């Protein structure tokens, strides 16, 4: 929660900075298997709708002045659309992901190849199981590392070695929020939104120590992946269904940009899952 003794910044005080993102078109998107609680192979998926929702997200980034690169999707890798899981890029250095589930493991080579061919010559594949920005979240001078479902706790040491930044490990406790980016969104260097029940007591304490401003999302907003959001420091792109969180962000001086990612949510993804930030 934002302490009552601190003034709440206005929208004019929140500063947007241009970002460079990597996205993967959902040309082969489907729910063909189940590796998280959101996925039901028996439920119908509208691939055309998923494509339109993805395009709307990309267009929203472009309208805000951000750069969007794309990686070519590969047939047979339906979750490749979730670019955030392909790796972590900080300071021009890329650490490629190592996926836990066999269904996604071939994505690692595709993303690593893209990194090496697009200005990240020193890109390396992780030795530990970690699923990129799904669980490795940049927070200014520190990195937050989620673990418990899809990333090993031991990945934190490798992240520290790769980027030279201190890492705060956070254990995830609710299988619905299997990646850190489904339970927490870093909004700027001093502000984050999170769903407290997705973390253990130590994790909640660590977040309270790291962020002077913490915005709590309700279970209803977390359950529509409202925290799977992307912030440029002022604008926050988040699922349109997360109405309560949208209001809280606006009250905290951010400019919410609601987008509908409901079809991609059938595989457990939202705006952040579809977006890997390329930090130079």
pLDDT digits (tens, 9 = 90+) for 109-167: 999 999 999 999 789 999 999 999 999 999 999 999 999 999 999 999 999 999 999 99
pLDDT digits (tens, 9 = 90+) for 4-40: 444 667 666 899 999 999 999 999 999 999 999 999 9
What are the catalytic residues? 179, 273
Domain coordinates of the chain in residue numbers? 11-277
Contacts 24+ apart (CB under 8 A), 236-243: 236/185, 236/187, 237/57, 237/60, 237/61, 237/271, 238/185, 238/270, 238/271, 239/265, 239/270, 239/271, 242/217
Enter the pTM of the model: 0.95
The architecture of the domain spanning 11-277 is 5-stranded Propeller (3.75)
**What percent of the chain clears pLDDT 90, i.e. is strictly above it?**
94
| Contacts of 42 by beta carbon, 8 Å cutoff, 6+ apart | none
- The rounded distance, in Å, linking the Cα atoms of 35 and 31 is 10
Question: What is the number of alpha carbons within 13 Å of residue 238 lying toward its C-beta?
Answer: 36
């Amino acid at each position: 929660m934002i302490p009552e003794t601190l003034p709440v910044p206005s929208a004019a005080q929140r500063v947007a900075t241009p970002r460079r993102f990597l996205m993967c078109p959902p040309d082969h998107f489907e729910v063909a298997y189940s590796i998280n609680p959101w996925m039901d192979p028996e439920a119908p998926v509208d691939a055309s709708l998923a494509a339109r929702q993805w395009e709307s997200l990309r267009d929203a980034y472009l309208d805000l002045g951000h750069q969007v690169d794309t990686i070519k999707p590969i047939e047979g890798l339906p979750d490749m659309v979730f670019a955030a899981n392909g790796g972590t890029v900080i300071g021009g250095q890329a650490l490629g992901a190592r996926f836990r589930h066999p269904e996604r493991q071939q994505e690692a080579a595709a993303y690593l190849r893209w990194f090496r061919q697009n200005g990240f010559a020193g890109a390396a594949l992780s030795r530990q199981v970690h699923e990129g920005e799904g669980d490795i979240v940049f927070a200014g001078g520190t990195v937050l590392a989620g673990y418990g479902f899809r990333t090993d706790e031991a990945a934190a040491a490798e992240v520290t070695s790769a980027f030279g930044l201190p890492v705060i490990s956070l254990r995830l406790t609710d299988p619905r929020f299997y990646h850190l980016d489904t339970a927490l969104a870093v909004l700027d260097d001093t502000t984050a939104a999170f769903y407290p029940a997705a973390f253990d007591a130590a994790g909640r304490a660590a977040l309270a120590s790291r962020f002077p401003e913490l915005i709590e999302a309700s279970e209803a907003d977390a359950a529509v992946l409202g925290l799977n959001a992307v912030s440029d420091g002022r604008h926050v792109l988040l699922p349109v269904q997360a109405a309560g969180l949208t209001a809280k962000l606006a009250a905290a001086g951010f400019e919410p940009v609601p987008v509908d990612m409901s079809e991609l949510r059938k595989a457990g993804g939202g705006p952040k899952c579809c977006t890997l930030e390329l930090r130079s």
